[in-house]
Amino acid sequence: MKYPGSRKRRPDSSRLFVASLEQAVLAFLCENPERSFYSVELSDDAGLSRGGVNQALHVLAEAGLVGAEDRGQKRFYRANLADARVRAFKALLDAATAADGRS
């Protein structure tokens, strides 16, 4: 998927659900639910600006959409799949991916 502000491009209909940087960060985390990411790693892997990712993670964490875990001096983030809103967002992304034939 091409995230807003991203240098990476993956043409698909799931991008229809990703209009803001917060949505792009949450989409990336939902696409990688088995992992947690340090903000710099997330920024690099998703092709998004570091400052934007940090701000988006703060907003998402305050809303309870992502969980954070401190490991030493670093904070790692992952999608909070216990939250119904995150599960619904992930379901939309998964359905769009399946519709594009990339399930």
**What is the predicted pLDDT for the residue at 103?**
46
Q: Write the pLDDT tens digit of every residue in 12-43.
A: 555 555 668 999 999 999 999 999 999 999 99
Confidence check: pLDDT of 9 > 60: no
The values of phi and psi at residue 69, to 5°, are: -135, 125
13-89 maps to CATH 1.10.10.10? yes
**What is the predicted pLDDT for the residue at 97?**
83
Confidence check: pLDDT of 6 > 90: no
Cβ-contact 92, 8 below 8 angstroms: no
User: What's the token pair of residue 19?
Assistant: 């209009």
Q: Where are the domains of the chain?
A: 13-89
- Give residues with Cβ within 8 angstroms of 30, minimum separation 6: 79, 86, 89, 90, 93
> The pTM is what?
0.79
Q: Which residue has the higher pLDDT, 18 or 90?
A: 90
Neighbours of 24 (CB within 10 A): 24
